[in-house]
Amino acid sequence: MNSPVYELRDVVKLYGQREVLHLGHLVIPHGEITCVVGPNGAGKSSLLRLLNFLESPTSGQITFDGRPLNGKVPLSLRRRVTMVFQRPILLSASVRDNVAYGLKLRGEKEVEARVSQVLDLVGLSQFARASVKTLSGGEAQRVALARAIVIEPEVLLLDEPTANLDPYNGSLIEKIVAELNRERGIAIAVVTHSVFQAKRLAHQVAFLLGGREIEVAPAEQFFSTPANPRTAAFVRGEMVY
Amino acid sequence: MGDLFRGAIQALRLILALDPQVLSILGLTLRVTGIALLFSTLIGVPLGGLFALRRFVGKRVVIAFLYTGMGLPPVVVGLFVYLLLSRSGPLGYLGWLFTPRAMIVSQVIISLPLVVGFTMASVMGVDPDLRRQLASLGATSWQATWAILKEARTGVIVSIVAGFGSIISEVGAVMLVGGNIEGYTRTLTTAIVLETRKGSFDLAIALGIILLALSFVANVAMLSLQGKRLGE
């Protein structure tokens, strides 16, 4: 396993009195794809929001790249991580302007060239000037992905990125994600319901249930010889509670 | 009907002849309304965004006051500003009563709640997850707020249009605090009242038509800022 980009210890997240996450120990390594699987309400999206620094844990310790996080996360650190939401949330503007947003925030140069390059990667070059309102759901999700990867994050978080997509757009996004990891070495955490998607993408799988990590293991081991009977049941596609 | 027709002809004649008295009234109306709207926009749009996006103690009460303010009778505002600026009032030392400044103050008070209220409603209508998404892309709090205001721009422009409409046609407050002094604090609305009382219906209707035309042009200009968002 590569060195950890995230290390979570005894992390608890409460919404009011309700505990949505209670993790003992979870490591997300550099340069690998970690798939976070589990049924609805397992705490997967809450975990991603913590990893994206959008929320703070109620208690416990998150370490990012060896640096323990306490209180407000500095902007420079926040900008090393980005997330693609399950539902693409785009600005009412052109495809190009949406993709350029993160670069302009950072005052980056060569915005046009980088945007063109990324649009080419996600197969949307011909829509650069189009309004995002004219796009299909799959195209909009690809714009959201392009907007995230153009800023060249060290960590990319994907919250069920293909949940609402047809097989063509779903497989296209999977292909781009796998390439990004392989060619640029970006650490990627993908929340997914799909065991099959996890099998195709993951180097490591974390199985959550009721906000707790049931099993975290390298993908091959997770699918072939799961240590926990509930993991085995989940992998077989059975209902797990 | 005859009065209306004669008024329209008179309006055309006054405009084409660049009548100095009408130009003076028009200029003051534009100046007072323009400055008041500028203040209302500069204060009201950020405040509306703030009310929509931030949580704070007493927000419900503040919004209740705001909604009450959206229906403030202009004449009551005029009375309040009059008492404030009158010689014995707390701000009497400024010497602003019966000056365009007093008129601007009262018009800001009338239009501000409308700008704040409509801006707040439009910002609250923006997808609540957008702020998280922008933060996730590395936006600071201000950058995210600016992007959200831009998303709500149709509503923000409506708020400015509503603010403009509330003061360009307002007569009670400017009459009370301005005093309708010829060549100094006489606006289109107060001039219309005066000419009607004098029985000069032609001139009153002419000024009314100019007021309507002004309002129409200003609204078209602001609507054009919305670009292609109207679905034309």
In chain A, domain spans = 1-80+155-241, 87-152
Closest-CA residue of chain A to B133: A89
- When pLDDT is cut at 50, 70 and 90, the band that residue A90 belongs to is very high
Q: CATH fold of A1-80+155-241, please?
A: Rossmann fold (3.40.50)
The pLDDT value given to residue B205 = 85
The residue that leads in pLDDT, B19 or A140, is A140
Which helix (H) or strand (E) element contains residue B41? helix B20-53
The pLDDT value given to residue A127 = 95
| Nearest-neighbour CA in chain A from B51: distance (Å) | 21
- When pLDDT is cut at 50, 70 and 90, the band that residue B226 belongs to is low
- A85 vs B contacts (CB less than 8 Å): 129, 132-133, 136
The residue that leads in pLDDT, A131 or A164, is A131
- When pLDDT is cut at 50, 70 and 90, the band that residue A55 belongs to is very high
Closest-CA residue of chain B to A101: B137
Is A101–B137 a contact, with Cβ atoms under 8 angstroms apart? yes
The pLDDT value given to residue B82 = 97
- A78 vs B contacts (CB less than 8 Å): 135, 138
Position A46: which residue type? S
Chain B contact present for A98, CB below 8 A: no
Name the residue ranges covered by the structural domains of chain B: 2-226
Contact B83, B152 (CB under 8 A): no
Please determine, for residue B7, whether its predicted confidence score (pLDDT) is greater than 90: no
Is B135–A54 a contact, with Cβ atoms under 8 angstroms apart? yes
Q: Strand A187-192 to strand A33-37: parallel, antiparallel, or no bridges (unpaired)?
A: parallel
Which helix (H) or strand (E) element contains residue A62? strand A59-64
Residues B33-76 have pLDDT tens digits of: 999 999 999 999 999 999 999 889 999 999 999 999 999 999 99
Residue B225 structure tokens: 């800022």
Q: What is the mean pLDDT of residues B118-129?
A: 94
Say which of A89, A101, A147 has its CB closest to residue B127. A89
Spatial separation of the C-alpha atoms in residues B104 and B110, rounded to whole Å? 10
SS3 call for B95: coil
Q: What is the mean pLDDT of residues B90-114?
A: 96
| Nearest-neighbour CA in chain A from B45: distance (Å) | 19
Please determine, for residue B148, whether its predicted confidence score (pLDDT) is greater than 60: yes
**Which pTM was predicted?**
0.82
- When pLDDT is cut at 50, 70 and 90, the band that residue B232 belongs to is low
- When pLDDT is cut at 50, 70 and 90, the band that residue B202 belongs to is confident
- A81 vs B contacts (CB less than 8 Å): 136
Q: What is the mean pLDDT of residues B23-30?
A: 92
| CATH no. for B2-226 | 1.10.3720.10
Which helix (H) or strand (E) element contains residue A240? none
Q: What is the mean pLDDT of residues B63-92?
A: 94
The pLDDT value given to residue B17 = 86
What is the pLDDT of chain A when averaged over all its residues?
A: 93
Is B137–A147 a contact, with Cβ atoms under 8 angstroms apart? yes
The pLDDT value given to residue B227 = 61
- When pLDDT is cut at 50, 70 and 90, the band that residue B223 belongs to is confident
- A154 vs B contacts (CB less than 8 Å): none
Q: Percentage of chain A with pLDDT > 70?
A: 99
Q: Rounding to the nearest 10 degrees, give the CA dihedral for residues B59, B63, B64, B66.
A: 140
Is A147–B151 a contact, with Cβ atoms under 8 angstroms apart? no
| Nearest-neighbour CA in chain B from A31: distance (Å) | 20
Q: What is the mean pLDDT of residues A197-212?
A: 94
- When pLDDT is cut at 50, 70 and 90, the band that residue A79 belongs to is very high
Mutation target for B interface from A82, A89, A150, A152: give the one with most B CBs within 10 A: A89
Predicted ipTM of the assembly: 0.90
Q: What is the mean pLDDT of residues A178-191?
A: 94
Is A85–B137 a contact, with Cβ atoms under 8 angstroms apart? no
Q: Percentage of chain B with pLDDT > 70?
A: 97
- A105 vs B contacts (CB less than 8 Å): 137-140, 143
Residue A173 structure tokens: 């996004």
